[in-house]
Structure 1
Amino acid sequence: MATAQNKPMDLLRFATAGSVDDGKSTLIGRLLLDSKSIFEDQLEAVEATSEAKGYDYTDLALLTDGLRSEREQGITIDVAYRYFATPARKFIIADTPGHVQYTRNMVTGASTADLGLVLVDARQGLTEQSRRHALILSLLRVPHLVLAVNKMDLVDFSQEVFDKIHAEFTQFATKLNIPDLQVIPISALAGDNVVNRSENMGWYQGPTLMHHLEHVHVASDRDLIDARFPVQYVVRPKSDEFHDYRGYGGQVAGGVLKQGDEVVVLPSGMTSKIAGIDLFDKEIDMAFPPMSVTIRLEDDVDVSRGDMIARVNNAPTATQDIDAMVCWMTTAPLLPKAKLAIKHTTRNGRVMVKDIQYRLDVNTLHRDQETKQLGVNEIGRVQLRCTVPLLVDPYSKNRTTGSFILIDETTGVTVGAGMING
């Protein structure tokens, strides 16, 4: 029987986004501090530095200044991942840069997020950046979005200011695909409504940010209906003890797989039944996303890396023609007739760009059909032709089997990320 000591903790991945000086670093510092996820000597160093600078407060942004230093040095900015936990849940923060030139990095950080946290400065209200961040999170099908209206202390904790931003953003969000939206007034510097409820905003009756992060329900966001198991590795131990063992390792991308289930191996179409599911050194009854397991089949069928195990009457679409939204990530533009390598789940192939239908203006949602190329950090709808059949679902249905990356064959550099349209 599971006890409080051995029960696995739930994990929430969330991505933060915000313009410069919206208080993102301070907010992350506040979450780390109030969840007791920093060492005493770190806090003492921050307090000493704050005092040396003449501040009459602890500058929590200093806890995340490593990334800021990278910006000042002009280094290529990547996503910074930070980890902390409370008694209720474990968290992974993808701290994504907010500048328009770092759109590709935001796409990277938000692609695996369960929740997107967009900060706005209460004094500035909604900006072009705020709308752009919300749109990208919507395109990436991040199921939960929090708009944190920060620096409420600098507008005298005004309900009128908050209500105006709330109404404006809610109206904008109706144009997007955002299933769950929460708007919270906070002061990251003072800690109002971050972990503890603010005495200065008695008019706000919603949850604090930490309470929402701890209790937002994400288990049902994953597709537990359509079984998808991309095979990553064929497990054949060389020891005499397991000389007859043959399993297929990988991460469950969708559905629930159980011993005895009738399955089909794609693209060959061969059918079998699941003989067993192994997790490390023990056998388990079932597997579901995002578990990494080894599946054994009753029949000795031909299965190799890049194949996919699915249910007989519920299989993904096998196609060589891909219609997708692509975020382009390199300075050389994407042009029709371009040839690239593609990686989709565990399957590799080569593609040619058949057509670029339009470039999406992420600020206005306008579809520019005149432009027949994509520049760095631009997003557009692209038609691709692949050399091998890919086993795909729409991105709106499954974020794993509905996504892919494009790779420059010459350099091996990832140059694009795609989301397959339904």
Structure 2
Amino acid sequence: MNDAISYEEPWARTHQFDPPPLFDALRAERPLARMVYPDGHVGWLATSHDMVRKVLGDPRFSHSTEVGHFPVTHQGQVVPNSPKIPGMFIHMDPPDHTRYRRLLTGEFTVRRASRLIPRIEAVAAEQIAFMREHGAPADLVADFARPLILRILSELVGLPYEEREHYANAPALLHDPDAKPEDVAAAYERASSFFVEVVEGKRKQPGDDLVSRLVSAGQLTTEELCNMMILLLFAGYETTESALSVGVFALLHHAGQLAAIRADPAKLDGAVEELLRYLTVNQYHTYRTASQDVELGGETVRKGDTVTVSLPAANRDPAKFMCPGNLDIDRDTSGHVAFGFGIHQCLGQNLARVELRAGLSALLREFPGLRLAVPFDEVPLRLKGSVFAVKSLPVSW
């Protein structure tokens, strides 16, 4: 395994829950391996827990799209470099990243997320009532996970859920590698135009929501505000929806783990963290580019080299987690990187956690007989794409 691998090799997921087996071989033999990127750049792939955290925590690595090499193609096309987009701070370095992120930090604290629990529980109850009204079988994705996550995020940000046709489809298309570029562009443009209307509406009549507070602060332009809304939607919607849906799928398959939670609901918090580690739905869009030469694991990463870090591989590292291929809700999951690491660690992770806890709690409490309505192997999966997901999850109760 001395030659550089192709970018296509590591992302060939074939199992419902496990990352590609190549990760295990790479992690054992060369946790920082050479990888040929779609544009021909020969960069790196990090697969060990230690190496992933080193890269993500090192300020000598940039997350700018101006200099990086994208590790996958879209519709078979190389994703080109792009200039900074005002407000889209996820792909910025300090001090720009720091300035934008600081404006949102207070909106996503543990305390703020905890205050949303009653509302999340109420929405979960409404979606369960919807499922009961329409009867089994139901699609847990379309009837529960998707509306629960989108309704809460929309209310938090200040988007009118009843007008979701303007913006709800854009994240799914962006994360779908098979989506046509023109469809992605059209959905993005539609969402952007709608967000301009939302911002202008908040200027005239502010409410109790994130966008209204940002508008009132007066530090951002309309363009910055709209791009920040797009970022929050793209980063916080489909990822959490998928974590919830695939998490239920995993529990229904691991009957012993599910029974343990039912017997002792206090285990739910640990179960959420273990599902995040075990599944790691954020698959392969995490990469950094060296702004100077960096010595890592006996290798020299040259200035301009891009390192893709595999969060799923890091969370299955046996040097960090004993028997990492097992779903074990009683294990110590501290240090998992499902939400990333370093200054770009997921801003909305506290919200995601309370949504996952509330969603799982409601489902397990209200549907003691919850089960798959189709054979395990017939659950349709989205194995490609930046977010690992089930396309639908037919269930009965």
Q: TM-score range by the shorter chain?
A: under 0.3
Bigger strand fraction:
1
TM-score scaled by length of structure 1: 0.22
TM-score scaled by length of structure 2: 0.23
Bigger helix fraction:
2
Q: Which has the higher contact order (CA 8 A, sep 6+)?
A: 2
